[in-house]
Amino acid sequence: MTDLDLTGRTALVTGGAQGLGEGMAQALAANGARVVIADVQDDAGEKVADSLKGDGHGFVHLDVTDEASWENATTAAASDFGGLDILVNNAGVEITSLITEVDPKDIRTMLEVNILGTALGLKWGLRTMRPDGLGGKGGSIINISSVAATIAFPGIPIYSATKSAVDRLTRVAAMESGKLGYGVRINCIYPGLVPTAMGQGLAADMASLGLFGSPEEAVAGVVELTPSGRLGEVSDMADAVVFLASDASRFVNGVGLPVDGGMGM
Ligand SMILES: NC(=O)c1ccc[n+]([C@@H]2O[C@H](COP(=O)([O-])OP(=O)(O)OC[C@H]3O[C@@H](n4cnc5c(N)ncnc54)[C@H](O)[C@@H]3O)[C@@H](O)[C@H]2O)c1
Protein backbone atom coordinates (compact mmCIF):
# COMPACT_ATOMS: atom_id res chain seq x y z
CA MET A 1 0.00 0.00 0.00
CA THR A 2 1.14 3.54 -0.74
CA ASP A 3 2.20 5.15 2.49
CA LEU A 4 0.40 7.91 4.29
CA ASP A 5 3.23 10.43 3.88
CA LEU A 6 1.94 13.98 3.39
CA THR A 7 5.32 15.70 3.12
CA GLY A 8 5.17 18.78 0.89
CA ARG A 9 1.42 19.22 1.25
CA THR A 10 -0.47 22.00 3.02
CA ALA A 11 -3.62 21.21 4.99
CA LEU A 12 -6.20 23.66 6.34
CA VAL A 13 -8.30 22.35 9.25
CA THR A 14 -11.40 24.32 10.24
CA GLY A 15 -12.39 24.16 13.89
CA GLY A 16 -8.81 23.07 14.57
CA ALA A 17 -8.50 24.92 17.89
CA GLN A 18 -9.83 22.02 19.98
CA GLY A 19 -11.46 18.59 19.96
CA LEU A 20 -11.50 16.47 16.84
CA GLY A 21 -10.03 19.24 14.67
CA GLU A 22 -7.02 19.58 16.97
CA GLY A 23 -6.44 15.82 16.78
CA MET A 24 -6.75 15.84 12.99
CA ALA A 25 -4.25 18.70 12.77
CA GLN A 26 -1.78 16.81 14.98
CA ALA A 27 -2.12 13.65 12.90
CA LEU A 28 -1.74 15.48 9.57
CA ALA A 29 1.38 17.26 10.89
CA ALA A 30 2.80 13.98 12.26
CA ASN A 31 2.48 12.55 8.75
CA GLY A 32 4.44 15.44 7.24
CA ALA A 33 1.83 18.02 6.21
CA ARG A 34 2.18 21.74 6.86
CA VAL A 35 -1.00 22.59 8.79
CA VAL A 36 -3.01 25.79 8.94
CA ILE A 37 -5.39 25.87 11.91
CA ALA A 38 -8.48 27.91 11.02
CA ASP A 39 -10.94 28.81 13.76
CA VAL A 40 -12.87 31.63 15.42
CA GLN A 41 -10.90 31.00 18.63
CA ASP A 42 -7.67 32.90 18.02
CA ASP A 43 -5.70 32.18 21.21
CA ALA A 44 -6.53 28.47 21.35
CA GLY A 45 -5.91 28.14 17.61
CA GLU A 46 -2.48 29.80 17.82
CA LYS A 47 -1.58 27.52 20.71
CA VAL A 48 -2.48 24.38 18.76
CA ALA A 49 -0.52 25.62 15.72
CA ASP A 50 2.53 26.21 17.95
CA SER A 51 2.23 22.72 19.44
CA LEU A 52 2.28 20.82 16.14
CA LYS A 53 5.16 18.54 15.23
CA GLY A 54 7.51 19.98 12.59
CA ASP A 55 7.89 23.49 11.15
CA GLY A 56 5.89 25.87 9.02
CA HIS A 57 2.48 25.49 10.66
CA GLY A 58 0.28 28.48 11.41
CA PHE A 59 -3.08 29.90 12.39
CA VAL A 60 -5.57 31.94 10.43
CA HIS A 61 -8.75 33.45 11.81
CA LEU A 62 -11.73 31.90 10.03
CA ASP A 63 -15.44 32.15 10.64
CA VAL A 64 -16.75 29.43 8.33
CA THR A 65 -20.09 31.23 7.93
CA ASP A 66 -18.43 34.29 6.40
CA GLU A 67 -17.49 34.34 2.74
CA ALA A 68 -14.82 37.06 3.01
CA SER A 69 -13.22 35.12 5.84
CA TRP A 70 -12.96 32.04 3.60
CA GLU A 71 -11.43 34.02 0.76
CA ASN A 72 -8.86 35.42 3.18
CA ALA A 73 -8.04 32.02 4.74
CA THR A 74 -7.65 30.14 1.47
CA THR A 75 -5.58 32.94 -0.03
CA ALA A 76 -3.35 32.93 3.06
CA ALA A 77 -2.88 29.16 2.85
CA ALA A 78 -1.92 29.32 -0.83
CA SER A 79 0.27 32.45 -0.56
CA ASP A 80 1.90 32.12 2.87
CA PHE A 81 1.90 28.37 3.54
CA GLY A 82 2.91 26.92 0.21
CA GLY A 83 -0.44 25.96 -1.30
CA LEU A 84 -3.64 24.17 -0.41
CA ASP A 85 -3.69 20.40 -0.94
CA ILE A 86 -5.91 19.19 1.90
CA LEU A 87 -8.98 20.88 3.38
CA VAL A 88 -10.78 19.43 6.40
CA ASN A 89 -14.22 21.01 6.86
CA ASN A 90 -14.48 20.08 10.53
CA ALA A 91 -15.96 23.15 12.28
CA GLY A 92 -19.43 22.37 13.54
CA VAL A 93 -21.95 23.09 16.29
CA GLU A 94 -24.54 20.91 18.02
CA ILE A 95 -27.45 22.35 20.01
CA THR A 96 -29.57 19.60 21.56
CA SER A 97 -33.38 19.90 21.58
CA LEU A 98 -36.47 17.81 21.10
CA ILE A 99 -38.20 18.74 17.84
CA THR A 100 -41.22 20.02 19.80
CA GLU A 101 -39.04 22.50 21.70
CA VAL A 102 -36.60 23.67 19.06
CA ASP A 103 -35.74 27.38 18.91
CA PRO A 104 -35.54 28.92 15.41
CA LYS A 105 -32.41 30.81 16.50
CA ASP A 106 -30.67 27.51 17.26
CA ILE A 107 -31.84 26.02 13.96
CA ARG A 108 -30.32 28.97 12.11
CA THR A 109 -27.03 28.65 14.00
CA MET A 110 -26.67 24.98 13.06
CA LEU A 111 -27.71 25.63 9.45
CA GLU A 112 -25.17 28.44 9.23
CA VAL A 113 -22.15 26.71 10.71
CA ASN A 114 -22.76 23.13 9.60
CA ILE A 115 -24.28 23.60 6.13
CA LEU A 116 -23.34 27.11 4.99
CA GLY A 117 -19.88 26.70 6.55
CA THR A 118 -19.23 23.42 4.75
CA ALA A 119 -20.66 24.71 1.46
CA LEU A 120 -18.43 27.81 1.55
CA GLY A 121 -15.48 25.60 2.43
CA LEU A 122 -16.14 23.49 -0.63
CA LYS A 123 -16.54 26.61 -2.76
CA TRP A 124 -13.29 28.27 -1.68
CA GLY A 125 -11.40 25.01 -1.34
CA LEU A 126 -12.22 24.00 -4.90
CA ARG A 127 -11.58 27.49 -6.29
CA THR A 128 -8.14 27.40 -4.70
CA MET A 129 -7.18 23.80 -5.48
CA ARG A 130 -8.42 23.48 -9.07
CA PRO A 131 -5.91 23.98 -11.90
CA ASP A 132 -6.62 27.72 -12.32
CA GLY A 133 -6.58 28.36 -8.56
CA LEU A 134 -3.91 29.89 -6.35
CA GLY A 135 -2.95 26.41 -5.11
CA GLY A 136 -3.60 24.80 -8.47
CA LYS A 137 -2.46 21.24 -7.69
CA GLY A 138 -5.77 19.48 -6.94
CA GLY A 139 -6.01 17.63 -3.66
CA SER A 140 -8.39 16.14 -1.13
CA ILE A 141 -11.29 17.65 0.81
CA ILE A 142 -12.66 15.82 3.83
CA ASN A 143 -15.97 16.93 5.31
CA ILE A 144 -16.93 15.93 8.84
CA SER A 145 -20.49 14.63 8.90
CA SER A 146 -21.70 12.40 11.80
CA VAL A 147 -23.16 9.03 12.67
CA ALA A 148 -26.22 11.23 13.25
CA ALA A 149 -26.59 11.37 9.46
CA THR A 150 -26.95 7.58 9.32
CA ILE A 151 -29.16 6.69 12.32
CA ALA A 152 -32.08 8.29 14.17
CA PHE A 153 -30.95 9.38 17.63
CA PRO A 154 -33.40 11.36 19.80
CA GLY A 155 -32.63 14.94 20.84
CA ILE A 156 -30.61 15.97 17.80
CA PRO A 157 -33.16 16.39 14.95
CA ILE A 158 -31.74 19.60 13.46
CA TYR A 159 -28.11 18.61 13.95
CA SER A 160 -28.84 15.28 12.22
CA ALA A 161 -30.49 17.11 9.32
CA THR A 162 -27.48 19.39 8.89
CA LYS A 163 -25.07 16.44 8.94
CA SER A 164 -27.18 14.66 6.31
CA ALA A 165 -26.80 17.82 4.24
CA VAL A 166 -23.01 17.59 4.64
CA ASP A 167 -23.22 14.06 3.24
CA ARG A 168 -25.13 15.24 0.12
CA LEU A 169 -22.87 18.26 -0.35
CA THR A 170 -19.90 15.87 -0.33
CA ARG A 171 -21.27 13.67 -3.10
CA VAL A 172 -22.48 16.42 -5.44
CA ALA A 173 -19.27 18.39 -4.99
CA ALA A 174 -17.22 15.25 -5.77
CA MET A 175 -19.25 14.75 -8.94
CA GLU A 176 -18.78 18.38 -10.04
CA SER A 177 -15.07 18.25 -9.24
CA GLY A 178 -14.66 15.14 -11.37
CA LYS A 179 -16.78 16.34 -14.28
CA LEU A 180 -15.00 19.70 -14.39
CA GLY A 181 -11.47 18.31 -14.07
CA TYR A 182 -10.61 19.99 -10.78
CA GLY A 183 -8.42 17.10 -9.60
CA VAL A 184 -9.90 17.22 -6.12
CA ARG A 185 -11.31 14.16 -4.34
CA ILE A 186 -14.07 14.89 -1.85
CA ASN A 187 -15.17 12.49 0.88
CA CYS A 188 -16.75 12.71 4.31
CA ILE A 189 -16.56 10.72 7.52
CA TYR A 190 -19.36 9.91 9.95
CA PRO A 191 -17.75 9.97 13.42
CA GLY A 192 -19.42 8.15 16.27
CA LEU A 193 -19.68 9.79 19.69
CA VAL A 194 -16.31 11.07 20.96
CA PRO A 195 -16.07 12.68 24.42
CA THR A 196 -14.83 16.09 23.27
CA ALA A 197 -16.52 19.24 24.62
CA MET A 198 -19.29 18.64 22.08
CA GLY A 199 -19.63 14.91 22.82
CA GLN A 200 -19.70 15.40 26.60
CA GLY A 201 -22.21 18.23 26.23
CA LEU A 202 -24.46 16.00 24.17
CA ALA A 203 -24.42 13.21 26.79
CA ALA A 204 -25.31 15.74 29.50
CA ASP A 205 -28.09 17.23 27.35
CA MET A 206 -29.58 13.77 26.71
CA ALA A 207 -29.92 13.31 30.46
CA SER A 208 -31.40 16.83 30.93
CA LEU A 209 -34.02 16.08 28.30
CA GLY A 210 -35.02 12.93 30.22
CA LEU A 211 -33.95 10.61 27.41
CA PHE A 212 -31.48 8.88 29.76
CA GLY A 213 -31.20 8.79 33.55
CA SER A 214 -27.74 10.41 33.58
CA PRO A 215 -24.91 11.39 31.19
CA GLU A 216 -23.20 8.10 32.10
CA GLU A 217 -26.33 6.18 31.09
CA ALA A 218 -26.41 8.11 27.79
CA VAL A 219 -22.81 7.07 27.11
CA ALA A 220 -23.61 3.46 28.08
CA GLY A 221 -26.58 3.58 25.68
CA VAL A 222 -24.28 4.61 22.83
CA VAL A 223 -21.71 1.94 23.71
CA GLU A 224 -24.50 -0.65 23.80
CA LEU A 225 -25.39 0.26 20.19
CA THR A 226 -21.73 -0.01 19.11
CA PRO A 227 -20.36 -3.43 18.03
CA SER A 228 -16.80 -2.35 18.86
CA GLY A 229 -17.99 -1.83 22.44
CA ARG A 230 -16.56 1.60 23.22
CA LEU A 231 -16.87 5.30 22.43
CA GLY A 232 -14.79 6.82 19.64
CA GLU A 233 -11.46 8.48 20.36
CA VAL A 234 -10.03 11.60 18.76
CA SER A 235 -7.27 9.52 17.17
CA ASP A 236 -9.84 7.22 15.50
CA MET A 237 -11.17 10.21 13.54
CA ALA A 238 -7.73 11.71 12.94
CA ASP A 239 -6.37 8.50 11.40
CA ALA A 240 -9.36 8.25 9.04
CA VAL A 241 -8.75 11.84 7.92
CA VAL A 242 -5.06 11.12 7.26
CA PHE A 243 -6.07 8.12 5.13
CA LEU A 244 -8.55 10.18 3.09
CA ALA A 245 -6.01 13.00 2.72
CA SER A 246 -3.26 10.67 1.49
CA ASP A 247 -2.55 8.83 -1.74
CA ALA A 248 -3.48 5.59 0.03
CA SER A 249 -7.10 6.60 -0.70
CA ARG A 250 -6.39 7.82 -4.25
CA PHE A 251 -9.38 5.95 -5.79
CA VAL A 252 -11.79 6.75 -2.94
CA ASN A 253 -14.06 9.60 -4.02
CA GLY A 254 -17.53 10.85 -3.10
CA VAL A 255 -18.03 8.47 -0.19
CA GLY A 256 -19.10 8.73 3.42
CA LEU A 257 -16.88 6.61 5.67
CA PRO A 258 -18.41 5.51 8.99
CA VAL A 259 -15.83 5.80 11.80
CA ASP A 260 -18.22 4.76 14.52
CA GLY A 261 -17.28 1.24 15.65
CA GLY A 262 -20.26 -0.07 13.70
CA MET A 263 -22.91 2.00 15.50
CA GLY A 264 -24.48 3.21 12.28
CA MET A 265 -24.66 -0.08 10.38
N1 LIG B 1 -17.60 14.87 19.22
C2 LIG B 1 -18.46 14.06 18.65
O3 LIG B 1 -18.99 13.14 19.29
C4 LIG B 1 -18.79 14.20 17.20
C5 LIG B 1 -19.48 13.15 16.57
C6 LIG B 1 -19.80 13.26 15.22
C7 LIG B 1 -19.43 14.38 14.51
N8 LIG B 1 -18.75 15.39 15.14
C9 LIG B 1 -18.39 16.55 14.34
O10 LIG B 1 -16.99 16.73 14.42
C11 LIG B 1 -16.66 18.12 14.30
C12 LIG B 1 -15.78 18.54 15.48
O13 LIG B 1 -16.48 18.26 16.68
P14 LIG B 1 -15.82 18.43 18.13
O15 LIG B 1 -16.39 17.36 18.97
O16 LIG B 1 -14.36 18.58 18.01
O17 LIG B 1 -16.49 19.83 18.58
P18 LIG B 1 -15.93 21.00 19.50
O19 LIG B 1 -17.12 21.77 19.91
O20 LIG B 1 -15.03 20.45 20.56
O21 LIG B 1 -15.02 21.88 18.50
C22 LIG B 1 -15.60 22.59 17.45
C23 LIG B 1 -14.60 23.60 16.91
O24 LIG B 1 -15.26 24.31 15.83
C25 LIG B 1 -15.00 25.69 16.00
N26 LIG B 1 -16.05 26.50 15.38
C27 LIG B 1 -17.34 26.61 15.75
N28 LIG B 1 -17.98 27.50 14.97
C29 LIG B 1 -17.07 27.95 14.06
C30 LIG B 1 -17.12 28.90 13.00
N31 LIG B 1 -18.24 29.58 12.72
N32 LIG B 1 -16.00 29.10 12.28
C33 LIG B 1 -14.84 28.44 12.58
N34 LIG B 1 -14.73 27.56 13.60
C35 LIG B 1 -15.84 27.32 14.33
C36 LIG B 1 -14.93 25.90 17.52
O37 LIG B 1 -14.29 27.10 17.88
C38 LIG B 1 -14.18 24.64 17.95
O39 LIG B 1 -12.78 24.84 17.89
C40 LIG B 1 -17.99 18.86 14.23
O41 LIG B 1 -18.35 19.10 12.89
C42 LIG B 1 -18.96 17.85 14.84
O43 LIG B 1 -20.29 18.08 14.41
C44 LIG B 1 -18.42 15.32 16.46
Domain membership flag for residue 211: yes
Protein residue with its CA nearest to atom 25 in ligand 1: 15
User: Is position 199 within any domain?
Assistant: yes
**Residues having CB within 6 Å of any atom of ligand 1:** 14-15, 17-21, 39-41, 62-65, 90-94, 113, 117, 144, 146, 191, 193-194, 196-199
Q: Are residues 209 and 243 in the same domain?
A: no
Report yes or no on 97 lying in a domain. yes
- Is 242 within 8 Å of 27 (Cβ atoms)? yes
**pLDDT of 235 higher than 60:** yes
- Across the range 182-193, mean pLDDT stands at 98
Same domain? For 131 and 207 the reply is no
**Same domain flag for 70 and 175:** yes
pLDDT tens readout for residues 139-181: 999 999 999 999 999 999 999 999 999 999 999 999 999 999 9
- Do 164 and 203 fall within a single domain? no
Handedness of CA 94, 95, 101, 106 (dihedral sign): negative
Return the pLDDT at 1: 52
Give distance in angstroms: CA of 111 to centre of ligand 1.
14
In-domain check, residue 161: yes
Q: What is the pLDDT of residue 2?
A: 64
Q: Residue 223 pLDDT > 60, yes or no?
A: yes
Domain annotation covers residue 2 = no
* Structure letter (DSSP) for residue 148: G
SS3 of residue 159 by DSSP: helix
Are 70 and 54 found together in one domain?
yes
- pLDDT value at position 265? 86
The answer to whether residue 108 is domain-embedded is yes
Whole-number Å distance, alpha carbon 214 to ligand 1 midpoint, is: 23
Position 1 in a domain = no
Dist. CA 184 → ligand 1 center (Å) = 24
Q: Is residue 141 part of a domain?
A: yes
Same domain (yes/no): 108, 222: no
Cβ atoms 141, 123 nearer than 8 A: no
CA distance 232 to 83: 32
Share the mean pLDDT of the chain. 97
Together in a domain, 148 and 200: no
Q: Which of 14, 18, 20 to mutate to test the pocket of ligand 1 (most atoms within 8 A of CB)?
A: 20
The reply to whether 56 and 178 lie within a common domain is: yes
Which residue segment(s) compose the domain that 202 sits in?
193-231
The rounded distance, in Å, linking the Cα atoms of 262 and 239 is 16
Q: Are residues 147 and 174 in the same domain?
A: yes
Domain count, the chain: 2
